[in-house]
Amino acid sequence: MAIIFPVNGISPKMGENCFIAPNATIVGDVIMGNDCSIWFNAVVRGDVNSIRIGDKVNVQDGAVIHCTYEKTKTIIGNKVSIGHNAIVHGCVIDENVLIGMGAIVMDNVHVGSNSIVAAGAVVLENTIIEPGSIYAGVPARKVKDISKELISGEINRIADNYVKYSSWFKEM
């Protein structure tokens, strides 16, 4: 059974048609939209500040979403995919974004819409990722503008597929 519990009297709130894996953890001030999925061993920890998650967001296996006490909240827009073992911490991620596997997005980062943070990238504090960009490397730097094909073929496809994948587990 997933670990879902309040912190300081504030309980997580999930939208409709969400899948929470049996070993996922969601605590505290977390509000999640519709058609979201929190996968195996993922942690969404709204204990020290708030976390807001839009619709059709998937937080894949082993990923961690957190924030900084009295400093940074985490805000995630619609149709965002957070890859396996990624860390998203005290930042703003706009709509239609892919955060690659093992990427780290640090405090006060703002990721613009229709962007990709490549697998393994480390986005340093206070970085602004312009909409429609691909960032990669350590530290992450812009490597190119994103094509319309990548927006539909990767960002949207992955977000939509995770809604489908989660339906396979609804009988758990």
- Each domain of the chain, given as residue ranges in start order, spans 3-167
Contact 56, 78 (CB under 8 A): yes
- Give the C-alpha distances (Å, rounded to integers) separating 8 from 27, 28, 75: 10, 7, 20
Given phi > 0 = left and psi -120 to 50 = alpha, else beta, which region is 96? Answer: left
Q: CATH topology for 3-167?
A: UDP N-Acetylglucosamine Acyltransferase; domain 1 (2.160.10)
Residue 149: per-residue pLDDT: 86
Residue 61: per-residue pLDDT: 98
Report field, pTM of the whole predicted structure over 0.95: yes
End-to-end CA distance of the chain: 10
Contact 43, 24 (CB under 8 A): yes
Residue 152: per-residue pLDDT: 85
For each successive 10 residues of the chain (172 residues), what is the average pLDDT? 96 97 98 98 98 98 97 98 98 98 98 98 98 98 92 91 93 62
